[in-house]
Chains A and B, each alone.
Chain A
Amino acid sequence: MLQVRDGAGEMLGVLFDRYQTPLFNFYSKLTGDRTLSEDLVQEVFLRILKYRQSYRPGTPFRAWVYQIARNARIDHFRKFPRERAFEPEMLPPVVPTDSAQEHQEAELLHRALLQLPEDKREILLLCRFQELKYEEIAKLLGCELNTVRTRIHRALQELRKSFHQLTEATLKQANAAAPENLPPRGGRHEV
C-alpha cells in the first residue's frame, strides 16, 4: 500500500469532486471537444498537485484553479497546434422541432457561442458559467476591470447577433418545411 507523506491526496479528491464538472464544461463549451476537455481536466489536477505550494491561503481559490486551467489549455495548444479551428459548420443542422422549443433554443445558443472568437467565448464562459467575479477575470486575463466590462459587452453583442441569425435561419427552414403544421401558440384557455 502506498504511503502518503502529506495531505495532498485527500484534498485533491475533494477538489476533484467539486471542480471536475465545472472545469469540464469550461473546456467543452470552449473547444467543443469532449475528449480533449477530459484530458485537460486531468492536466489541471496534476498541476494543482504539483503547484499546490503556490496557492496562497486567503486568495480566491476558484480564481487560482481557473488560472491553472487557462494555462493548461494555452500550453496544450502550444504543444499541439490546431490544424484548423473549430468550425460550427461541422455540426449537423438543427432540425426544428415544435415540441421542445427550449431545447432548440439552447442548441442554437450553443452554436452561436461556438461561432464567437475564442477570447469572447472564454470571457462569457468565465463570468456566466464559472461564476468568476469581474475583478477575478481581470486578474486572470491580466487586464483592467473596465476592459473586462467592455469585452463582456462586446462578446454579448456578438452572441446576440449570431443567435439572432441562427434563429431566423431555423425559422425560415421550419416555415418552408411545414408552414401549416405550426402548433397554436399560447393555447391555454381561460377558465
Chain B
Amino acid sequence: MKCEQISELLPDYLQGGLSPDQHHTVEAHLQQCVDCSEEVAVWRKLSLLPVEQPSPMSRVRFEAMLQAYQAGRSNEPASGPSWKKRPSSWNFFHWLRSPFGAAAWSAALLVIGVFAGFRMAGPKPLSPDIAEIQKELASTKQLVVLSMLQQQSASARLEGVSWSTREQQLNPQVLSALLHTLRYDPSVDVRLAALDALSRHSTQPQVRNSVVNALQEQQSPLVQVALIDQLVEWHDREAKPHLEKLRQSQDLNPAVRQRADWAISKLN
C-alpha cells in the first residue's frame, strides 16, 4: 500500500482506533517505510516533553480572583450563621474556606440535580464522556461532604457522613475530615456514624490508628463500645495494650469495662 493511503489511517492508528485488519496493514507498511515509521516515532517521542508546572502563585491568584468575583456578586450584607471556629487541625481546609459554609446545601442540590439530569438524559451504556463527568462530579460530591461536615446542625453533619459512604474511594481531605469528626464532633450520633463510615476504609493505616487513639479520648460509653467492637471486628491484636489501659482507667462505665474484657479475650 502507498503512503498516501496509509496516511489516512495513521491518525487513528496513533490513537488505537483501527480495526485489527487495518492495524495490521499499517504495521506491515511501517516495517518497510522509513518516512511513515518516523512519523509514528515522532508522535511517540512527544511523550518525552516534560510537563511544566505553573508557579505556586497561580493558586493564590486564583483564590483572589474567586473572592473578588464572589464579593462583586454578593451585594447584600452578609447574614446567616457566622463561620464556626474550628480547632487548628481544620487549617488544611484553609484553601476551601471562603466558598464554604452556607453554600453546602445549595451545592448538594446542584449535584443531585446534575445527577438526576444524567439519569433522565443518558441511555444505559456509559460512554466515556459521561464516565468522565461522573468522575468530575464524584470529586464535587466529596467537596460537598467536606462542607457538610462543617455545618452547625448535627443532622447536616450526619448527612455529610452518610454521603461519604457512597464513595468507594475517599480523597485524603475527606478522610481527614471524617477522622476529625470521629474525635471531636460534639454529637454522639455523628461520631458513631463517622466510625461506621471509616470502618470501610480500614486498609488506610491512619484509620486504624485513629480508632485506637479515640479509645482513650472518648467519654461516651456508646462510642467507646462501638470502637471496641470495631477493633474486634478488625482482629486488631495491636489494640490489646490499649484495651488493657482503657479497662484500668478510673470511673469507666462498667458496661464498657465488660466489653473491653470481652474484646481482650477475643483478641487473644
Contacts and interface: CB of A to CB of B under 8 A. Distances in A.
Nearest to B104: A7
Contact of B51 (A21, A57, A61): A21
A45 interface: yes
Interface in A16-66: 16, 18, 20-21, 24-25, 28-29, 34, 37-38, 41-42, 45-46, 49, 57-62
- Give the secondary structure class of B's interface: helix
A152 B58 CA distance: 32
Given A4-B98, A149-B8, A42 B136 contact: no
Contact of A9 (B39, B51, B99, B111): B99
Interface residues of B, number: 70
Contact of B49 (A2, A15, A109, A160): A109
A10 interface: yes
Nearest to A4: B103
A57 B117 contact: yes
A69 interface: no
B252 interface: no
Nearest to A124: B46
B45 interface: yes
- Give the secondary structure class of A's interface: helix
A3 B74 CA distance: 7
Contacts of B122: 58
A152 to B, nearest CB: 5
B94 to A, nearest CB: 12
A45 B64 CA distance: 12
A105 B12 contact: no
B209 interface: no
26 contacts: A1-B82, A2-B67, A2-B98, A5-B73, A5-B74, A10-B96, A10-B100, A10-B140, A13-B96, A13-B143, A24-B52, A37-B54, A38-B57, A46-B65, A60-B133, A61-B136, A62-B132, A105-B45, A113-B46, A128-B43, A128-B47, A129-B49, A134-B11, A152-B11, A160-B35, A163-B42
